[in-house]
Amino acid sequence: MKFWSFLRALVPIALLATEASAYADPGACSGQCWSHDPSVVKRTSDGVYFRFETGSLIGIWKASALTGPWVYQGAAIPKGSIINLTGKDDLWAPDVQKVGDNYILYYTVSSFGSQNSAIGYATSTTMEYGSWTDHGATGVASDSSKTYNAIDANLISDTSGNYYLNFGSFWGDIYQVKMNSAGTASSGTPYQIAFNSTGSQALEGSYMYYRSGYYYLMFSSGICCGYNTALPAQGEEYKVFVCRSTSVSGPFVDKAGKSCTTQNGGTLLLSSHGNIYGGGGQGMYADSSHGTVFYYHYADKTVGLADANYKFGWNVVTWTSGWPSI
Ligand SMILES: *[C@@H]1O[C@H](CO)[C@@H](O)[C@H](O)[C@H]1NC(C)=O
Ligand SMILES: *[C@@H]1O[C@H](CO)[C@@H](O)[C@H](O)[C@H]1NC(C)=O
Instruction: Identify whether 237 is a catalytic site residue.
Output: no
All domains of the chain in start order, with CATH: 5-325 (2.115.10.20)
267: left (phi over 0), alpha (psi -120 to 50) or beta: beta
Ligand 2 centre to CA of 146 (Å) is 23
Tell me the torsion sign for CA atoms 28, 298, 31, 110.
positive
- CB-defined site of ligand 2, < 6 Å: 196, 198-199, 201, 203, 221, 241, 264, 266
Mutate to test the pocket of ligand 2, among 173, 200, 221 (most ligand atoms within 8 A of CB): 221
* DSSP letter assigned to residue 47: -
Ligand 2 centre to CA of 2 (Å) is 45
CA distance 33 to 287: 19
Q: What is the pTM of this model?
A: 0.93
H or E element in which residue 9 lies: helix 2-20
Q: Find the ligand nearest to 109 CA.
A: 1
Please give the pLDDT value at position 284: 98
Other beta carbons less than 10 A from residue 275's beta carbon: 12
CA distance 205 to 214: 20
- pLDDT tens for the chain, 326 residues long, are 333 333 344 444 444 444 445 899 999 999 999 999 999 999 999 999 999 999 889 999 999 999 999 999 999 999 999 999 999 999 999 999 999 999 999 999 999 999 999 999 999 999 999 999 999 999 999 999 999 999 999 999 999 999 999 999 999 999 999 999 999 999 999 999 999 999 777 899 999 999 999 999 999 999 999 999 999 999 999 999 999 999 999 999 999 999 999 999 999 999 999 999 999 999 999 999 999 999 999 999 999 999 999 999 999 999 999 999 99
Instruction: Identify whether 37 is a catalytic site residue.
Output: yes
CA distance 146 to 131: 34
Which atom, in ligand 2's list, is nearest to the CA of 260? 13
Q: Count CA within 13 A, CB hemisphere, residue 219.
A: 35
